[in-house]
């Protein structure tokens, strides 16, 4: 259990999150995920990565129990881990296809929002419960999935939306039945893997280079407010 990486077939590496019961990750788990994604991208035999999860849902975000037990140092640790993992999806040298099912919450949004292509099972719910938990973050990535005003509404209310809604906005490429999700992701991965890998790698670099938002800096800015809310003296102005 944890983070695993395997070559599913020629050119395709599958990275799996497997941390029952809800795939919530602690600091080590986020860093392990980042390492697996970057290592896959460095391997010249990898042309595309599929990021998936086992169990009930894709990812419920941060392991809150770890943060509660570890205090300030644990909070800093998971924030650094999230920044590393979200950044690794974006910086992976090859395209990353996220195959999402069940729920995609909190840190799950950070992963999905930075993916190159997003496929989702029809049962998936997407959202950021951060405001209800007294933290902030991943609005950077939710803004890559839905229009600005909807993002703000979802962020302030902590409501969720389904895969069909994101498909209407064009951020989810394909909605499938849960039992077809992995097959659909591999079908798309094969199509990309069949291209000239030199071109695909340069295409990933080029697309990141023309992106209108610096996702690393934007998310780091958000994290500063989580530190303020959780490490301050409780006063507000």
66 — pLDDT class (breaks 50, 70, 90)? confident
Residue-averaged pLDDT of the chain: 95
pLDDT: which is higher, 11 or 66: 11
Residue 16 has pLDDT above 90, yes or no: yes
Helix, strand, coil percentages for the chain (3-state, nearest 5): 50, 20, 30
pLDDT digits (tens, 9 = 90+) for 105-133: 999 999 999 999 999 999 999 999 999 98
pLDDT for residue 99: 98
User: Span 193-215, mean pLDDT?
Assistant: 97
Q: Which long-range contacts (CB under 8 A, 24 or more apart) does 227-231 make?
A: 227/75, 227/76, 227/79, 229/134, 229/135, 229/136, 230/72, 230/75, 230/134, 230/135, 231/72, 231/75
User: Span 23-52, mean pLDDT?
Assistant: 97
In this prediction, what percent of the chain has a pLDDT beyond 70? 97
Residue 19 has pLDDT above 80, yes or no: yes
Residue 64 forms part of a structural domain: yes
pLDDT for residue 68: 78
pLDDT for residue 229: 87
Query: Looking at residue 103, what DSSP letter applies?
Result: E
Structural domains counted in the chain: 1
Q: Tell me if the bond preceding 21 is cis, omega within 30° of 0.
A: yes
Residue 187 forms part of a structural domain: no
Cα gap 92→89, rounded to integer Å: 5
pLDDT digits (tens, 9 = 90+) for 134-184: 889 999 999 999 999 999 999 999 999 999 999 999 999 999 999 999 999
Residue 189 forms part of a structural domain: no
pLDDT for residue 234: 52
pLDDT for residue 71: 79
In this prediction, what percent of the chain has a pLDDT beyond 90? 87
User: Span 71-75, mean pLDDT?
Assistant: 83
CATH number, domain containing residue 65: 3.90.226.10
Residue 235 has pLDDT above 80, yes or no: no
Residue 236 forms part of a structural domain: no
74 — pLDDT class (breaks 50, 70, 90)? confident
72 — pLDDT class (breaks 50, 70, 90)? confident
pLDDT for residue 233: 55
Residue 16 forms part of a structural domain: yes
Helix H or strand E encompassing 126: strand 125-127
Task: Give the range of the structural domain holding residue 143, as residue numbers without chain letter.
Answer: 2-177+197-231
Residue 46 has pLDDT above 70, yes or no: yes
Residue 208 forms part of a structural domain: yes
Contact between 89 and 118 (Cβ < 8 Å): no
Residue 185 forms part of a structural domain: no
Residue 114 forms part of a structural domain: yes
């Amino acid at each position: 259990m944890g983070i695993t990486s395997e070559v599913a077939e020629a050119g395709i590496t599958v990275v799996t999150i497997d941390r029952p019961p809800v795939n919530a990750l602690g600091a080590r788990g986020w860093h392990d995920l980042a390492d697996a994604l970057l290592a896959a991208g460095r391997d010249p035999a990898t042309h595309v990565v599929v990021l998936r999860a086992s169990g009930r849902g894709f990812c419920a975000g941060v392991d809150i129990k770890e943060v509660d037990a570890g205090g300030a140092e644990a909070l800093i640790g998971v924030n650094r881990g999230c920044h590393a993992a979200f950044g690794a999806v974006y910086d992976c040298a090859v395209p990353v296809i996220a195959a999402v099912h069940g729920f995609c919450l909190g840190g799950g949004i950070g992963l999905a929002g930075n993916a190159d292509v997003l496929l989702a099972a029809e049962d998936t719910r997407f959202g950021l419960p951060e405001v209800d938990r007294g933290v902030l973050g991943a609005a950077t990535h939710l803004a890559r999935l839905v229009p600005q005003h909807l993002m703000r509404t979802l962020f302030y209310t902590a409501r969720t939306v389904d895969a069909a809604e994101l498909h209407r906005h064009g951020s989810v490429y394909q909605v499938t039945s849960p039992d077809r999700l992995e097959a659909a992701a591999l079908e798309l991965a094969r199509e990309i893997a069949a291209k000239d890998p030199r071109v695909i790698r340069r295409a990933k670099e080029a697309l990141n280079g023309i992106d209108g938002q610096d996702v690393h800096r934007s998310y780091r800015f958000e994290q500063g407010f989580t530190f303020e809310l959780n490490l301050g003296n409780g006063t507000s102005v």
